[in-house]
Amino acid sequence: MGTQRSGGDGSGATGGKPWIKLAVVVVVLVGVIVLANAFGLFDMFKGGTLKDKVERMDALFRGLGAWAPAVFILIWIAACVVMLPGLPIAIAGGLVFGAVWGTVWSTVGANLGACLAFLIGRYAARDMVTGWIEKNKALRRIDDGVRQQGWRMLMITRLVPVFPFNIQNYVYGLTNISFATYALVSLVCMLPGTMAFNFAAGSAREVILSGGQPDAVKKTMLYLAVAAVCFVLLSLIPGWVKKRYAGAVEVGK
């Protein structure tokens, strides 16, 4: 394989003590989870109607004031690193911040989280991620694809659900793709999906919290139109990718 691996003794780029770096990351993540619980983030999903839950989420983040986006971004980062599903967070972003700002903060959080997982895979947890790859032939195909297609393999796996998003982030850290290329391609290719779910959730926010006000109805229709365009685009992308990069898609199977 063309992965950038450490020596057999686990030293090299990890500085000889990879688990110390990994332990620091884990401590930080545990701290984020504890803070989220202290702020009542987990309680807002308990009981009540959908409107009640949305109002609780809205009140919680409004109560954080200027810190609300930062807390939301930290939640995104933690979810990426510990490999939790991102879809519920994206939807929550649209419900809490609205379509536009939900897209902005989800884009920032998801990409920072993806980049952090990439760096952890490359520097702090190389041995662990190498073990995943050695035990999983499908994950080894990411490395094969990067060697054959370069950044196009990253584009394909971001646009077409060939591999789970969170695992990809770690595995790409062991390929020879540069961090700058990884960050830029991920940002561009993740944006359509982020917009689709945040604008759909933003339209729901307008319906749930507005009480049917005319201005809210107009916003709802606009947000739904944007979400629909993004979903149509996402439905067409796999076919285009398979036609344009058939060889790379075969690598991912």
pLDDT tens, the chain, 253 aa long: 454 544 434 444 334 455 555 666 667 666 666 666 665 555 555 656 667 777 777 787 888 889 999 999 998 998 888 888 888 889 889 989 999 999 999 999 999 999 999 998 888 766 677 776 777 676 777 777 788 778 888 888 888 766 677 788 888 888 888 999 999 999 998 998 899 999 998 888 887 777 666 676 777 888 888 888 888 887 777 666 666 655 555 544 5
Predicted pLDDT of residue 184: 94
Instruction: Determine the Cα–Cα distance for residues 217 and 160; give it in Å rounded to an integer.
Output: 33
Residue with token string 């990253």? 154
Residue 35 domain flag: yes
Residue 1 domain flag: no
Domains in the chain, number? 1
Per DSSP, the residues of 211-253 read -S-HHHHHHHHHHHHHHHHHHHHHHHHHHHHHHHSHHHHHHT-
Residue 3 domain flag: no
Report the largest interatomic distance among the alpha carbons of the chain, rounded to a whole angstrom. Answer: 66
The sign of the dihedral angle between the CA atoms of 107, 108, 112, 113 is: negative
Predicted pLDDT of residue 194: 92
CB distance 139 to 163 below 8 Å: yes
Predicted pLDDT of residue 181: 93
Predicted pLDDT of residue 13: 39
Residue 5 domain flag: no
Predicted pLDDT of residue 14: 39
Residue 107 domain flag: yes
The token pair that represents 21 in the structure block: 């770096």
Nearest alpha carbon to residue 117 among 104, 132, 95: 132
- Sequence-separated contacts (24+) of 34-43 with Cβ below 8 Å: 35/71, 36/71, 36/75, 36/78, 39/64, 39/71, 41/75
Residue 2 domain flag: no
Radius of gyration of the chain (CA): 20
Owning domain of residue 90: 18-251
| Length of the chain, in residues | 253
Residue 11 domain flag: no
Residue 128 domain flag: yes
75, with CB counted inside 10 A (0-12, 13-18, 19+), is buried
Instruction: Determine the Cα–Cα distance for residues 158 and 63; give it in Å rounded to an integer.
Output: 35
Q: What is the pTM of this model?
A: 0.73
- pLDDT tens figures, 230-248: 888 877 776 666 666 555 5
